[in-house]
Amino acid sequence: MIFGVGIDLVDVERIGKALKKQGPRFITRLAHPEDLKFAPSTATQKAQYWAARFAAKEAFAKALGTGIGKDVSFKEVGVAKQKNGKPDLRYSTRLHTFLKKQKITRTHISITHTETTAAAVVILETGK
């Protein structure tokens, strides 16, 4: 059964500016360890990549219905990549336990980005 669906749209330039202004601090505040595994090194790619991660985290928080805050922090949700490139969500141990309590058994994510905008959609499911 569908528990929730979340969508988010992020301005790549806004993230590019934050990366420029805050440097590594921005990534430290935002990143789950899984996000770091695939992070690119050039400034343009970085802005798109982190904008997409930002969108993924917000879309997840909306699907859960909590928003980003007490129950979900940016760092606790990460995006892994399967061999074929398909993204998958990963969680901190604490958040994993929280999801179990909500009886959430499956999560789905899709990401897209252009030079200017990144977006993500997340669907959470309960049941077998």
Ligand X SMILES: CC(C)(COP(=O)(O)OP(=O)(O)OC[C@H]1O[C@@H](n2cnc3c(N)ncnc32)[C@H](O)[C@@H]1OP(=O)(O)O)[C@@H](O)C(=O)NCCC(=O)NCCS
- Site residues for ligand X per CB under 6 A: 8, 58, 61-62, 65-69
Nearer to ligand X, 60 or 90 (CB): 60
Q: What CA–CA distance (Å, rounded) separates 46 from 111?
A: 15
Count the neighbouring beta carbons within 10 Å of the beta carbon of residue 47: 26
- φ/ψ of 42, rounded to 5, equals -80, 150
Instruction: Give the residue from 43, 58, 51, 57 showing the smallest Cα distance to 15.
Output: 51
Q: Is 32 among the residues known to form the active site?
A: no
What is the gyration radius of the CA atoms in the chain, in angstroms? 14
The token pair at 74 is: 């940016």
Q: Is 62 among the residues known to form the active site?
A: yes
- Minimum CB–partner distance for residue 8 and ligand X (Å): 5
- Minimum CB–partner distance for residue 7 and ligand X (Å): 8
Nearer to ligand X, 50 or 87 (CB): 50
Residue from 32, 46, 57, 62 carrying the catalytic annotation: 62
Nearer to ligand X, 69 or 85 (CB): 69
**What residues are labeled active site?**
62, 113
